[in-house]
Chain A
Amino acid sequence: MAAVAARYPELQALGVQVLAMSCDSRFSHKIWQEEELSKMVPGGVPFAMLSDAGGRIGEIYGVYDEEAGVDIRGRFLIDPDGIIQAMEVMTPPVGRNFSELVRQVQAFQHVRATGEATPAGWTPGKLTLTPGPELVGKVWKVWNPEMDK
């Protein structure tokens, strides 16, 4: 959570809001913020921390672990229409890669704005593809995996 907080301005610059959620109470969130997070990141976590009482919300997002009674790590990118565009769910010991989140936001925002498609590993400025009959079987002419390097 601290890692997301530290780089939150990058998401803000892209107009992205963040909600964090665990099965802890709002009171626990407050103390974690005051006693620990605020000491890792100046100002602490700048976004809302939600309480998923009983894991009922995690359950429908497919991240609630009944045996442990916690929500495992899951990240959902939701567009302005409320549609889930991307999700990533991981078991607890491995943390997230924030840079990949930013890349996905940029790619989905580009696709939404232009209707183009972004090949593997796309970052802003790289080649995009415009799906259409002419491109079928001809992607090799304009794109190859080397371009992802």
Chain B
Amino acid sequence: MPEEKLSCVKPAKGPVVSTPVQAADSSEPNVGKGVNKLMAKVGKPAPDFEANAFVNGGFSNVKLSDYKGQWLVLCFYPGDFTFV
């Protein structure tokens, strides 16, 4: 695989919204639908995302949906160089 040229900033999509939430000009009140579509909840699909990553000693982007078909643990933590 050719080495990708490393730049200071690399775009990543962040949260991937499949169905954009319509709210502003909708005539129906947006009650009980749409609003919480993109919140993580147990029993519901994990919201997809794409992020910059440090992986296997190099840099690439990682998409959550690339892991479909496998069990996955997603761990958030407060920051590199923190203490616990």
In the complex, whether A36 has a CB less than 8 A from a CB of chain B is yes
Q: Which has the most chain B C-beta neighbours within 10 Å: A20, A57, A95?
A: A57
Which chain A residues lie closer than 8 Å to B35 at the CB level? none
- How many residue pairs at the A-B interface have CB separations less than 8 Å? 180
The number of residues on chain B lying at the interface, defined by a beta carbon within 8 Å of a beta carbon of chain A, is: 43
Which chain B residues lie closer than 8 Å to A72 at the CB level? 76, 78
With beta carbons under 8 angstroms apart, the residue of A33, A59, A63, A80 that contacts B68 is A80
In the complex, whether B34 has a CB less than 8 A from a CB of chain A is no
Expressed in whole angstroms, the minimum distance between the Cβ of B71 and any Cβ of chain A is 4
With beta carbons under 8 angstroms apart, the residue of A24, A52, A62, A83 that contacts B46 is A83
Q: Which residue of B lies closest to A89 (CB)?
A: B76
The number of residues on chain A lying at the interface, defined by a beta carbon within 8 Å of a beta carbon of chain B, is: 67
Rounded to whole angstroms, the CA-CA distance of A27 and B80 in the bound complex is 11
In the complex, whether A85 has a CB less than 8 A from a CB of chain B is yes
In the complex, whether B5 has a CB less than 8 A from a CB of chain A is no
* In the A-B complex, the 4 residue pairs with the closest CB atoms: A29-B54, A32-B80, A48-B55, A71-B76
Can you spell out 13 A-B residue pairs with CB atoms less than 8 angstroms apart? Answer: A16-B70, A17-B67, A18-B72, A20-B77, A24-B80, A25-B52, A26-B52, A56-B15, A70-B79, A76-B46, A82-B46, A82-B64, A84-B40
A24-B79, A63-B76, A84-B45 known, 16 other contacts, Cβ within 8 Å: A16-B70, A19-B73, A19-B74, A31-B80, A48-B53, A52-B76, A53-B52, A60-B38, A61-B47, A70-B78, A74-B75, A75-B75, A76-B73, A83-B44, A92-B78, A94-B84
